[in-house]
Amino acid sequence: MNIILFGPPGAGKGTQAKILEKEYGFKQLSTGDMLRAEVSGQTELGKKMKVIMDQGNLVPDEIVIEMIRTYVESDDCEKGAIFDGFPRTVAQADALSSMLKECGKAIECVIELQVEDDALVGRIEKRAEEEGRDDDTVDAFKVRLGLYRDYSADVLPYYKAKGLHSLLDGDQSVEDVSKALRLLVS
Ligand code: ADP
């Protein structure tokens, strides 16, 4: 099954994607993780993207689209994929749809994890202490959340129109969110 986990920064997409990956064998494809790997590997691309990411802004569509393409076509995604943090624009959504189509696949389910802003701030503060991500600062988080509000208003209607969207309350324990997710994907 090919699933998109959609939600604001701190909604728990990565946590839930890892659980689904373990239980169902779908491959987690996180563009944020892929970009952070470029940054920590100090590649030319990583050096350029770090500036954008640290401010909380979106990196150019073509960069993330090409990153995702490599994986979509690989055997790792045979059982399916969980797209985590991608697509964030309609251009990315269109590109994803065509690259999946070329492999005879399609997105089957778009799950929006909904969490109130106050709860998100608390989670990001905790993650900043635990993981020390350079974009988990107050300023970058504000930018990321503001951008989320903007791009979700474009991307969610795109999938709602295709009848693929489900809403899930992300403001519950990790276990309860997983339980609800299992019902949607099995
Ligand atoms: P979060 O969802 O917590 O904001 P991610 O790990 O998904 O974090 O993304 C971190 C950063 O990586 C984003 O703020 C952005 O700069 C960049 N990024 C990740 N995915 C995309 C994407 N699909 N399009 C554009 N930029 C992206």
| DSSP states along 105-129 | ----EEEEEE--HHHHHHHHHHHHH
Choosing from 27, 36, 88, 123, the catalytic residue is 88
Query: What are the pLDDT tens digits along the chain (186 aa)?
Result: 999 999 999 999 999 999 999 999 999 999 999 999 999 999 999 999 999 999 999 999 999 999 999 999 899 999 999 999 999 999 999 999 999 999 999 999 999 999 999 999 999 999 999 999 999 999 999 999 999 999 999 999 999 999 999 999 999 999 999 999 999 998
CATH superfamily for 2-185 is: P-loop containing nucleotide triphosphate hydrolases (3.40.50.300)
Cα 58 to ligand 1 centroid, rounded to whole Å: 6
For atom 19 of ligand 1, which residue has the closest CA?
Answer: 32
Domain ranges (residues) in the chain = 2-185
Query: Can you tell me the distance from the alpha carbon of 183 to that of 103, in angstroms, rounded to the nearest whole number?
Result: 27
Kindly report the backbone phi and psi dihedral angles of residue 116, in degrees, each rounded to the nearest multiple of 5, phi listed first: -65, 150
For atom 10 of ligand 1, which residue has the closest CA?
Answer: 32
CA neighbor of 136 nearest in space, from 55, 64, 59 = 55
135 lines ligand 1 (CB under 6 A): yes
Choosing from 27, 36, 50, 144, the catalytic residue is 144
